[in-house]
Copies of this chain bind each other. A is one copy, B any other.
Amino acid sequence: MKQNELLVKAAVDSWHLTIANADKLLDTLSDDDLAKEIAPGRNRGLYLLGHLAAVHDRMIPLLNFGTRMHPELDNTFLTQPDKAVDFLPATHELRAYWKEINDTLATRINSLTPEEWLQRHTSVSEEDFAKEPHRNRFNVLVGRTNHLANHYGQMLLLKK
């Protein structure tokens, strides 16, 4: 393995591991568990699940992997805080979106070369990217893995 491949592998492995941990946790949590707040007055588990699904769905176009699958999640799970929207998707639907979105990402994440990871992400212009080459796809992967770990730590509190 080349140097840059080993560096990429560390971050890609960390993404997959964090997703696998979240999946394992979600398997142990019932829909009733997910309807509970992670701490008194804080976000409910299902809000965090929807929030993570929305953020990961947005990674599809951000990483230039294609069109996102569930833009309808943004209003409920990104723009507004928990409990601001009365009608939420059913928890089994959120679970299915979560899996579908992550599976789509996984296929592409596993196929990129180091050179492709260092290409710009789509929210930076070619002009700005020429001056700021760190605004690349790899940076998005690393940042989103941290975002997931942050909320995974919170969702762990739903475990009995």
Shortest distance in angstroms between A129's beta carbon and chain B's nearest beta carbon?
12
Pair B10/A138 contact, Cβ less than 8 Å: yes
Q: Say if the beta carbon of A79 comes within 8 Å of chain B.
A: no
Interface size grouping (class) on chain A: 35 or more
Over the window 57-81 of chain A, the binary record of Cβ atoms lying under 8 Å from chain B Cβ atoms (1 yes, 0 no) is 0000000000000000000000000
Nearest CB in chain B to that of A7: its residue: B7
With known contacts A118-B6, A150-B149, A1–B136 Cβ distance under 8 A? no
Q: Say if the beta carbon of A8 comes within 8 Å of chain B.
A: yes
Which residues of chain B are within 8 angstroms of A117 by Cβ–Cβ distance?
7
Nearest CB in chain B to that of A12: its residue: B142
With known contacts A42-B157, A118-B3, A157-B42, A10–B149 Cβ distance under 8 A? no
Specify how many copies of this chain sit in the oligomer: 2
- Given pairs A6-B138, A10-B136, 19 additional interface contacts (CB within 8 A): A3-B114, A3-B115, A6-B136, A7-B7, A7-B8, A7-B117, A7-B118, A10-B134, A10-B138, A10-B142, A14-B142, A14-B143, A39-B39, A40-B40, A149-B150, A150-B152, A153-B153, A154-B156, A157-B157
